[in-house]
Amino acid sequence: MKRSLEQRLQDGPVICGEGYLFELERRGYLQAGSFVPEVALDNPEALKQTYRDYMLAGSDVVLAFTYNAHREKMRIIGKEDLLEPLNRQAIRLAKEVAKEHPEEEALVAGNISNTNLFNPDDPEAVQSVRTMFAEMVKWCKEEDVDFVNGETFYYYEEAKIALEEIQKQGLPAVITFGLMGENVLRDGYSVEEASRLLKEQGALVVGMNCFRGPATMQPFIEKIRAEVDGYVGALPIPYRTTEEHPTFFNLPDGGCSCSIPTATTFPTSLDPLYCNRYELAEWAKEAHDIGVNYLGLCCGASPSMLREVAETVGRTAVNSTYSPDMEKHFLFGTDDTLQSHNTSYKTKA
């Protein structure tokens, strides 16, 4: 029998693979800039394979790829008529892949997110956001997801609306904030206060995702963990953000010798700024040690990075069989049958 999200949290850390947005752009199936998940309709097999790769790398959750698939974004690209078909298809594909897990069927999460329309000073915009969330969560309920992930909110009040609409459908909620460079949510709340309030209002998991790498997210995760009595989630981006440049929106690359077509390295020139998998492993250990219960990675993450996080907190992924083992490498290996004229040459290679 498939355990619920709450049951899995009670049993130990839960791993959630996010990051489909950048991964599918990297694979050639999504346009950077608009970042709309049309892949669910245009290339469903590509989306299923991406779901599968993250699940086999250790994700307990197949997150339906409906990030940015809300009415406002679909209106902007002139495809509002595809809104419902896209949302339902993304969930159905996730459910198909979740059933493939060879050990225990993966959880399927619906997904709603920052609308970029929310404006606390505009009552009409606030109501539009509520209406958008309501219709998306209704489709999640009808498609029988296990819970809904509300993510990347930089307004507390928008996150609160998301939680309310999820609760109206009787579904468990994971709510995470995206904290921009001013280190405070845009409506003035600290991220730890906002997380505590959402937990008190009934969210199952609260925390942070996206925008920040491990170095600039972890200090705020520690504040949330100290403030919140309950399950805490952390899903950073895998980039080397710094105190001076705490998000990936304005992260410089001093080593770039070419002219880039965008104002900053975001989103298509971030590649040299990655954390390696061992840096991510160090972060995962640190987060797990302070009691973070729901761990993962967000935009930019690859399946191998997610597997490193999972293994660091004591999980064995289906694809852990392919985890690195240098024993038989021709230069760096230690196997007795390797050629010594090669292994002795390794420092000169």
Known binding residues for Zn(2+): 210, 298-299
Query: Can you say how many angstroms the Cα of residue 211 is from the centroid of all Cα atoms in its chain?
Result: 10
Q: Report the C-alpha gap between 159 and 29 in whole angstroms.
A: 29
Integer Rg of the chain from CA: 20
Q: Report the C-alpha gap between 128 and 118 in whole angstroms.
A: 8
Which residues contact residue 59 at a Cβ distance below 8 angstroms, ignoring those fewer than 6 apart? 15, 16, 17, 106, 296, 306, 310
Buried b or exposed e, range 247-283, using 16+ CB within 10 angstroms = bbeebeeeeeeeeeeeeebbbebbeebbbebebbbeb
Q: Strand locations in 168-204, DSSP E?
A: 173-177
Comparing CA positions, the residue from 45, 59, 57 lying closest to residue 15 is: 59
**In 10 A of CB 309, how many CB atoms?**
32
Q: Report the C-alpha gap between 130 and 165 in whole angstroms.
A: 7
Phi, psi dihedral angles at 90 (to 5 degrees): -60, -40
Whether the Cβ atoms of residue 295 and residue 12 lie closer than 8 Å to each other: no
Comparing CA positions, the residue from 62, 29, 54 lying closest to residue 305 is: 54
Q: Report the C-alpha gap between 295 and 207 in whole angstroms.
A: 10
**Beta 205-209 vs 61-63: how paired, if at all?**
unpaired
